[in-house]
Amino acid sequence: MGQDYYAVLELRRSATDADIKKAYRRLALKSHPLKCKEPGAPERFRQLAEAYDVLSDPMKKGIYDKFGEEGLKGGIPEEFGDDNPWTAGYVFHNNPNKVFREFFGGDNPFAEFFAEDGTELIVPFGGLRGRGAMKQDPPIVRDLYLSLEDLFYGCTKKIKISRRVMNEDDQTSTIRDKILTIDVRPGWKQGTRITFEKEGDQGPNIIPADITFIVQEKLHPRFKRTDDNLIFVATVPLGKVKAGTEPPPRVFVAGGLLTRLRVALRVSQALTGCAVPVKTLDGRLLNIPVNDIVDPKYCKVVPGEGMPLLHDPRRKGDLLIYFDICFPKKLTPDQKTLLRSALLS
């Protein structure tokens, strides 16, 4: 039978996120090898760190609650994972000090309670305020996924975070939620960084970490962005070759000229004198005329139909239309003979 992470933290399975944090705080301080000299303290400290590492993460906790330690560490079926048949199993990094340090802040929260020879100091009334140099925690970096529509119009995103906040006694702290508001400007690009200064966990003798969000663009079903331009690929299908009908007078296909054929090439979308429909990000339907010879490298540029420019949203980049020309998968011998005769005549 696998480990019971709830029992390790002396919790019931109905424990909330705040309960889990509170339990780890109490037990980790009690079992830390610097404070507890019992023989089993290091292993107990490691078990507490692993239990907290799992139960404090919503995804790991969800898998553990449903499948237990075996499912968590062995992987679960694809319907609960991403693209792979089985998810990768969880492996604890086996560094309890890392978990402790990330939770409390600083390399050693007990350092100010001990002298250089390891003996415990007597803390004067008023605590340790003002002792030691203040050190800021490393920044916390998170991705912010936005659609092209979000970046086209601009929008407001509200993100809830949970962080440690010092109480009025400046000695104890409480986990509290806070809403961070991000005003997305039209024209922001992938990689844009938004920083909230000192919004990380608070603690004695530390400066809270900055929280930074990095914009990532979601995949779009119609467009791909490049700088301030939008790329659209128009699929131009060619129908089956039929014999015995009159051909169109002139049809340009990928740079080749077919003229006065005795074979009709039924074209679903003409490559000359046609209009390509494009639905824009703001919902308009454009019918873009294409009167040039279309080859696989041809690009139709539509000025001013791209993404807004960050410093002047009234101006926009361009829409770049490329063509995916779909030729017939196969031809009968008669059709090949007719085409060969026409092209060589």
243: its two tokens: 């014999």
- For 37, the 3-state DSSP assignment is coil
Report whether 146 contacts 127 (CB < 8 A).
no
Distances in Å between the Cα of 123 and the Cα atoms of 36, 114, 115, 145, 327 are 19, 10, 11, 48, 83
Distance CA 176, CA 200 (A): 11
CATH topology of domain 135-219: HSP40/DNAj peptide-binding domain (2.60.260)
Cα–chain center distance at 69: 27
Name which residue leads in pLDDT, 3 or 171: 3
Which residue do the tokens 């060589």 mark? 344
* Structure confidence at residue 222 (pLDDT): 93
| pLDDT of 144 higher than 90 | yes
92: its two tokens: 């604890």
User: φ, ψ for residue 51 (rounded to 5)?
Assistant: -60, -45
* Structure confidence at residue 168 (pLDDT): 79
| pLDDT of 288 higher than 80 | yes
Distance CA 264, CA 210 (A): 67
Name which residue leads in pLDDT, 115 or 65: 65
* Structure confidence at residue 107 (pLDDT): 52
pLDDT tens for each residue of 55-98: 998 888 988 888 888 878 877 665 544 454 556 678 888 888 88
Instruction: Tell me the helix, strand and coil percentages in the chain, rounded to 5.
Output: 25, 35, 45
**What's the pLDDT band for 173 if we cut at 50, 70, 90?**
confident
Say yes or no: domain 1-104 is CATH 1.10.287.110. Answer: yes
Report whether 269 contacts 283 (CB < 8 A).
no
Of 33-42, 253-262, 311-320, minimum mean pLDDT range: 253-262
Distances in Å between the Cα of 120 and the Cα atoms of 109, 203, 205 are 13, 21, 19
Report whether 222 contacts 234 (CB < 8 A).
no
* Structure confidence at residue 258 (pLDDT): 38
**What's the pLDDT band for 252 if we cut at 50, 70, 90?**
very low
Could you write out the DSSP letters of every residue in 268-321? Answer: SS-SSSEEEEEE-TTS-EEEEEE-SPP-TT-EEEETT-SPEETTEEEEE--EEE
Segments of the chain assigned to CATH 2.60.260.20: 135-219, 223-344
Average the pLDDT over 233-245 and give the result. 56
Say yes or no: domain 223-344 is CATH 3.40.50.720. Answer: no
**What's the pLDDT band for 132 if we cut at 50, 70, 90?**
very low
Of 37-41, 132-136, 246-250, 309-313, minimum mean pLDDT range: 246-250
From first CA to last CA, the distance across the chain in angstroms is: 81
Average the pLDDT over 279-303 and give the result. 87
pTM over 0.85: no
| pLDDT of 34 higher than 60 | yes
**What is the rounded radius of gyration, in angstroms, for the C-alpha atoms of the chain?**
32
* Structure confidence at residue 92 (pLDDT): 85
| pLDDT of 267 higher than 60 | no
Report whether 212 contacts 191 (CB < 8 A).
no
Distances in Å between the Cα of 328 and the Cα atoms of 145, 242, 336 are 40, 12, 12
pLDDT tens for each residue of 184-196: 999 999 999 999 9
Segments of the chain assigned to CATH 1.10.287.110: 1-104
pLDDT tens for each residue of 212-221: 999 999 999 9
pLDDT tens for each residue of 198-234: 998 887 778 889 999 999 999 999 999 999 999 999 8
